[in-house]
Amino acid sequence: MFWHARRKPEPGRRPLDPPPPDITADRLAGLFPGADADAVARGVVAFAGQPPAELGRTPSGGIDWRFDPYRNRSWALNLHTLRWMGRLVVAYERSGERGHLECATDIARDWASGNPRGGARVSEWAWAEHAVALRGPALVALSAHVLDPWLAASLAEHADVLADPALYREGHNHGLDQDIALLLIGRRLGDTARTRLAIDRMTASAELAIDEQGALHEQAPRYGLYVHRRLGVALRLIENCGQEVPARLAARRAALAHYIAHATQPDGRLAPLGDSPADTRPPRFAAAQTSTVRVFDAGYVFGRTAWDDPQAAYYSIRFGPGRRLHGHEDHLGVTYHAGGHDVLVEAGFDSYERTEFRQWTLSPEAHSVPIVQRAAFRPGTATSLDASAIGPSRQCHRLSDDAYGVRRTRTVLVNHGPDLMAVLDEVPDGWTLRDLWHFAPALRVAATAEGRVTLAADDRRVTLLQFRPPDHAPVPGQSVRQGTVCTGYLRRAEAVTVVSPAASRLLTLIVPGPGDPEVTPGPDGALTVHTATGPVTLPAGLF
């Protein structure tokens, strides 16, 4: 059993009253993910995708709360959440193993005594607002069995911090976690004013964070999934407290399911937009599977050929307000998925570590976008969706912005059956752009020719073709470089990036499927693409 000599109780503190019946660790178990109680009892923890590590110790035998063996921000945060301590309390309730409860008590008491708020040597993570929010429920779970004055004092201090409007993250997933913690601590301490404050703040915050269409303004579908799950926890806890769930709060959670469903690719993974790991798999939201194409005013176009078909084609396009929170500089960016496989991807999300690679993943160059040459990028620029034509087998969307101080326009046409994506990029005369196309890691260059790059993976093929409007002459000069994309948290893979030659107008075709597609010009500037599964005629300008 991990631990050291216990400290004596503080004198002059009032102990906690017995808990209400709804306050048990087992009921809160879903708030304490991922820890092995037996390992924790031995002083071994595992956070943030890192290997298990023994907790650091101080010379006096306590826990070293500044210990950070992997120099990883997420690991350091998780240490101070004490959710891993909460698993010990859950294990005690389920097994009756008294040693687990004693170990949990010792860990929490050591944290409380070793991390005074404002202390000179206290870790920056100890009282970070998200650590406080995630730690609160763990202390509440412990208080189902431990009534000592030190724990009463710690809960009261946590409630004060959580209720402080200056520290509250309104409209943010951290704010939701703050409200969940304040709700639970208010319930545990019998403080109905704090419980009411948590519910009221939570409702107002949800209406800021989630619009009426269901899009989360944090600009990453993975955080939409996180908030949806946490709101589910919150609604249950509100009911457990004997309070009525606000209808406005429940409505925003229901709307959020539509955003998550449409952001989910046919293979079950979320589109890797913003800080969304490429291997995230949300549950199926059947009720949200309505139209096959959905435009969210917050800045997303999602389209697919069918629901519940792993072989369906799928695409995403980004526009909307400038980058914020967990978003990337991905405006005008596209992803494409066809035949059960990724075709076009983004560099994606690797971690929150402050590295050059992390900064690059946030940049336009990490996405399949047009880069204006000899012009400075202006971060945070909004992009407008100027027009959309949506049909059952073909959709076309035109977007524009001045992110480089000059108007750039992208028109995206997606054809279903035969599958094909056509993208027309334009800047005014006197300016040029280069397109970046980031392909899925499985695809490798099989052949190149004038204005053409063929990629393959096993028996799959994808062809990129580029033309100069309006005469549709092939544009030579593509360069192929080896890039890097993120396949999950702290996981990377080599991938092909195709860079176009500089041009003021450039038409790019992405054609998944066998064979070598051919292109013939037609009347009035039209273009016919002959694919292995049939011809596709594209109008001039794509609209």
**Bridge partners, 300 (sequence order):** 296, 318
Share of residues in the chain with pLDDT > 90 (%)? 92
Q: How far is residue 264 from each of residues 172, 213, 223, 334, measured CA to CA in Å?
A: 22, 16, 13, 14
Banded pLDDT at 287 (limits 50, 70, 90): confident
Banded pLDDT at 543 (limits 50, 70, 90): confident
Q: Tell me the pLDDT tens digit for each residue of 40-77.
A: 999 999 998 899 999 999 988 899 999 999 999 999 99
Give the mean model confidence (pLDDT) for residues 235-257.
96
Banded pLDDT at 7 (limits 50, 70, 90): very low
Banded pLDDT at 13 (limits 50, 70, 90): low
Q: Tell me the pLDDT tens digit for each residue of 434-450.
A: 999 999 999 999 999 99
170 secondary structure, DSSP code: T
Mean pLDDT (the chain, rounded) = 95
Distance of CA 82 to the CA centre of its chain: 23
Does 9 have pLDDT greater than 50? no
Q: Tell me the pLDDT tens digit for each residue of 398-435.
A: 999 999 999 999 999 999 989 999 999 999 999 999 99
The answer to whether the bond into 418 is cis (omega within 30° of 0) is: yes
Q: How many C-beta neighbours within 10 Å does residue 211 have? A: 17
CA diameter of the chain: 91
Q: Tell me the pLDDT tens digit for each residue of 488-511.
A: 999 999 999 999 999 999 999 999
Burial of 209 (0-12, 13-18, 19+ CB in 10 A): buried
The pLDDT value given to residue 8: 45
Q: DSSP assignment of 113-150, as one string?
A: HH--TT-TT--TTTT-HHHHHHHHHHHHHHTTT---HH
3-state secondary structure of 400: strand
Structural domains for the chain: 290-542 (2.70.98.70)
